[in-house]
Amino acid sequence: MEAELYELFHHFLRVVFLVSIPFVVVGFLTGIFSAALEFVASVRDPVVGYCLRLLASALVLVGFYLFFSQAVVDLALMAWR
């Protein structure tokens, strides 16, 4: 029982990290890009950065949807065993 619980927790952490890492990386890169764009264009409006990050997050969600959904379904099936 303890080994199964350890395996489930390990799989849960793996899914959490695999799902969150693309959002963190894309958010970081988009933030750097938007900051550079605001600096070059002398724009002091934070809405540009928010819009770019929102668009990038939506693209990540669409691009990795099948991977994310399969990982979550596998985790749920493992929990129900």
Residue with tokens 């724009």: 43
pLDDT tens, 34-45? Answer: 989 888 888 888
Alpha-carbon gap, residue 73 to 79, rounded angstroms: 10
Binned at pLDDT 50, 70 and 90, residue 5 comes out as confident
Return the pLDDT at 4: 84
pTM for the whole structure: 0.76
60 CB-near residues (< 8 Å, 6+ apart): 22, 23, 26
Residue 12 phi, psi (nearest 5): -60, -50
Q: Is the pLDDT of residue 1 over 80?
A: no
End-to-end CA distance of the chain: 12
> Are 71 and 16 within 8 A, CB to CB?
no
Indicate the domain borders of the chain: 2-80
